Structure 1
Amino acid sequence: MSTPMEYIKTNSLDWQPSFNGTLSNGMNGYRGALIIEEGKQISSDRKLPPRIQAKQVIMISKEEKIKFFACELESFNDFKPMFEKYKQFFDQESMNLLYVTDLDGNGTFEYDDVTFTAIMLDESSVWNELLDLASLEKSDMKQYKKQDAKVEKLYNELLNTQIEESIKTYEEMCNLIGESSKQLMGAV
């Protein structure tokens, strides 16, 4: 069985990574997006951006398993295809956070014996939400010059953090799908 990063690289599933590297204790860290559904091939050497992607992914893996996974999904409907594509790497020990822009409520649910916590995301980024969850300030991270140290510090803080929301079934989570609440930020 391959590692998550070997699978991602072999299948060209990484999208605009900002970090992919070795951490301590034989772990690997990744920041970027992951392709869930590829974009249309428009010529032999050009392809449209992914149709569905897990954005702002922060992932820590060790050997064949994901230890920590957080991402932004534009819709909770994207969860099932995302899970199907990467399910071999999740297990009951994984800490998994989904920040979803079209949810009208938060919840922790189990899917195929793996626990996920889904949280509404409106204006923030996954990184900022995780810093808040870990009770870290951006200034706490400035002492770390490299991405590997920042990712590992965040992960270590989250290991001791209560991340569960109210327990729901997967079907109850699907019933919370609403309209995207994410506010586009940019020049006015």
Structure 2
Amino acid sequence: MANFVEFLKENELAWQPSFQGVLSDGTYGYRGALIVEAGKQISPDRKLPPKIQAKQVITILDDTMKFFACELESFHDLAPLVEKYKDFLVSGGLYLLYVTDLEKAGTFEYEGVKFTAFPLDESSVWNELLELADLDKSDMKRLKKQEEKIEAVYEELVGTDVEETSASYEEMLTFVGESSKQLMGAV
């Protein structure tokens, strides 16, 4: 756990975290974004936003990541993500990717680690996880602490079959299309 926390701090990789702390079982939870490729340093005290980031990250770790879910703008961002965080990824972890330019879901291995990737259109990673875990939003609202919510989602997902059609990494690359995410807000 301390290794990941130190890694984030030393490399300034936490980006807009909404939660980071110890969970009830002693593991570490994080919710926010993680920098994959930093933005350009434009002055000693100012840096542009990250070029590549894993958005809407929800992760649980001890020495390694037991659970990791995030939004990626492109499936091509997986390679630099794995390169940056490979010391914390293990073959037995639960790793879910929601990708805006992916047209078809699949479960695949990359660098010896199993991932399941889903297209992400309009929803958020959190809402997608609740649906995948068959959890009701009203039940989650009853939980007051952020760490309780993260733990509840993880505990449900561990007992759920989250795998999609098996594919190779190369096959997954053929499922990449245009970004399908709908932008919300003023037009």
TM-score by length of 1: 0.97
Instruction: Say whether 1:152 aligns with 2:137.
Output: no
Aligned to 1:133: 132
Q: 1:88 aligns to what SS in structure 2?
A: helix
Q: 2:8 aligns to what SS in structure 1?
A: helix
Aligned to 1:27: 27
State how 1:159-174 maps to structure 2 within 5 Å: 159-174=158-173
Instruction: Say whether 1:54 aligns with 2:64.
Output: no
Cα displacement (A) at 1:186 = 1.4
Cα displacement (A) at 1:187 = 3.3
Cα displacement (A) at 1:93 = 1.2
**Structure 2 CA distance, aligned partners of 1:45 and 1:66?**
31
**Structure 2 CA distance, aligned partners of 1:5 and 1:159?**
24
State how 1:103-122 maps to structure 2 within 5 Å: 103-122=102-121
Q: Root-mean-square deviation (CA), in Å?
A: 1.1
Q: Which runs of 4+ in 1 moved over 3 A?
A: none
**Structure 2 CA distance, aligned partners of 1:98 and 1:122?**
13
Structure 1 residue runs of 5 or longer lacking an equivalent are: none
Cα displacement (A) at 1:127 = 0.2
Cα displacement (A) at 1:131 = 0.2
Cα displacement (A) at 1:5 = 2.2
**Structure 2 CA distance, aligned partners of 1:78 and 1:113?**
17
**Structure 2 CA distance, aligned partners of 1:66 and 1:76?**
20
In percent, how many aligned pairs have the same letter? 64
Aligned to 1:42: 42
Cα displacement (A) at 1:109 = 0.3
Aligned to 1:87: 86
Aligned to 1:13: 13
Aligned to 1:72: 71
Cα displacement (A) at 1:45 = 0.7
**Structure 2 CA distance, aligned partners of 1:38 and 1:68?**
24
**Structure 1 CA distance, aligned partners of 2:46 and 2:103?**
37
